[in-house]
């Protein structure tokens, strides 16, 4: 009980430290020109200080090294900090100078390499079933890099509304922390892992009051890349000898940013656009276009993130058969939701169109007639 109280008090102090540091980072952002200027792609109407994630990072460094030295081993803390430093520096440079996507990718890749070689965060072996084991061997490095780069960018892509990326990251971290706590109790992962995760949550919680709508400072790429990187790396700490369930669980927890990223890639490929092209079709954009207020859209996405996190926690305890049905139902629900809000693009509703065929002869006949007319038009065009 005394240990629990001690950790709780120090977590609160960590949150208060982040809360106190954020106004100082806001002043620093203006001095170093880490400012988001209004344009057609951004929500803000006035210049807004960015790089707010620097407050989260600095608080995390102070907390791990000086507030929790007896709980988080120094050897683990400095390796984690050094690995993340490359990503934070990349984000800060982008907030000041607006780096190209390729330059940001280089910075994230350097951080991922440091995480692999310095921290030892990697995917080595996957136990598909009790008797089936896959050792990735030399593929461990590219798979780990892909994991870290993909999840880091997924968080960065949803950072489009006040408090969105910060809140979604906190929800994801909380779910990973709960799963990590249960795994640590059984000896599956190191005991410092859940504490490290909750330290990061309280660092973010201290920053969120300044970042929630109406925001006084933006998270910036400094914070979005840092939080995405930390989620990716910390979730890897339990995947050195992972089961299929422990591999899928973080992906479900990050269902909101991953769904947004996957459908953004699909949408751009279908439109024959470069994957790095920015557009106004992300999840938060679609919710705003449907009439949601700024806060309403953010809270809606928070709710979706909580739903994914609860499903992920359930997934960790369900039987194999139940997990299969759970994944199928989840994929069906995600696709239906995506089509309903138009995330995949206008007039792209394969599942809804398929469902309309069921028991609807008039609709089927109409679609058949439309296809015949389209074929005739195409034939006439070719002949002319």
Q: Judge whether 221 is annotated as a binding position.
A: yes
Q: Judge whether 162 is annotated as a binding position.
A: no
The DSSP element (H or E) to which 125 belongs, if any, is: strand 125-129
Closest to 33 in 3D by CA, of 103, 87, 95: 95
| Interatomic CA distance for residues 88 and 53, integer angstroms | 8
| Interatomic CA distance for residues 333 and 60, integer angstroms | 36
| Interatomic CA distance for residues 296 and 212, integer angstroms | 12
Name, in order, each residue with C-beta under 8 angstroms of 164's C-beta and a sequence gap of 6 or more.
158, 284, 298, 301
Task: Decide if 203 contacts 59 (C-beta within 8 A).
Answer: yes
| Interatomic CA distance for residues 167 and 154, integer angstroms | 14
Instruction: Please report the DSSP string for 253-279 in residue order.
Output: HTHHHHHHHHHHHHHHHHTT--TT---
Q: Strands of 132-135's sheet, edge to edge?
A: 132-135, 125-129, 241-243
Residue 83: C-alpha distances to residues 72, 76, 141, 177 (Å): 16, 11, 15, 20
Q: Which residues are annotated as a binding site for Mg(2+)?
A: 156, 221
Q: Which residues are annotated as a binding site?
A: 156, 221
């Amino acid at each position: 009980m005394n240990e629990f109280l001690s950790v709780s008090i120090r977590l609160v102090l960590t949150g208060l430290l982040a809360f106190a540091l954020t106004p100082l980072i806001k002043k620093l952002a203006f001095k170093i020109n880490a400012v988001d200027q209004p344009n057609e792609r951004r929500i803000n109407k006035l210049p807004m200080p960015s790089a707010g994630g620097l407050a989260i990072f600095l608080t995390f460094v102070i907390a791990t090294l000086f507030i929790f030295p007896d709980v988080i081993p120094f050897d683990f803390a400095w390796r984690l900090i050094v690995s993340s430093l490359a990503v934070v520096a990349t984000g800060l440079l982008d907030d000041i100078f607006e780096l190209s996507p390729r330059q940001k990718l280089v910075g994230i890749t350097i951080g991922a390499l440091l995480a692999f070689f310095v921290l030892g965060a990697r995917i080595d072996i996957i136990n598909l079933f009790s008797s089936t084991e896959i050792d990735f061997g030399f593929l461990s490095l590219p798979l780990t890099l892909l994991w870290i780069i993909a999840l880091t960018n997924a968080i960065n892509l949803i950072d489009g509304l006040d408090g969105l990326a910060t809140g979604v990251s906190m929800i994801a971290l909380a779910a990973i922390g709960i799963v990590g706590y249960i795994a640590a109790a059984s000896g599956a992962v190191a005991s410092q892992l859940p504490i490290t995760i909750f330290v990061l949550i309280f660092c973010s919680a201290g920053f969120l009051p300044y970042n929630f709508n109406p925001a006084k400072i933006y998270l910036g790429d400094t914070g979005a890349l840092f939080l995405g990187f930390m989620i990716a790396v910390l979730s890897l700490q339990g995947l050195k000898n992972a089961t299929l369930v422990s591999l899928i669980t973080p992906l479900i927890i990050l269902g909101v940013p991953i769904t947004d990223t996957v459908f953004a890639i699909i949408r751009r490929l279908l439109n024959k656009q470069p994957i790095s092209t920015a557009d106004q079709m992300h999840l938060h954009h679609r919710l705003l276009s449907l009439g949601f207020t700024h806060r309403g859209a953010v809270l809606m996405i928070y709710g979706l993130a909580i739903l994914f996190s609860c499903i992920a926690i359930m997934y960790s305890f369900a039987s194999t058969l139940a997990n299969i049905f759970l994944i199928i139902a989840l994929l069906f629900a995600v696709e239906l939701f995506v089509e309903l809000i138009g995330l995949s693009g206008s007039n792209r509703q394969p599942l809804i169109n398929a469902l309309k065929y069921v028991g609807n002869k008039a609709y089927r006949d109409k679609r058949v007639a439309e296809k015949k007319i389209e074929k005739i038009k195409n034939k006439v065009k070719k002949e002319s």
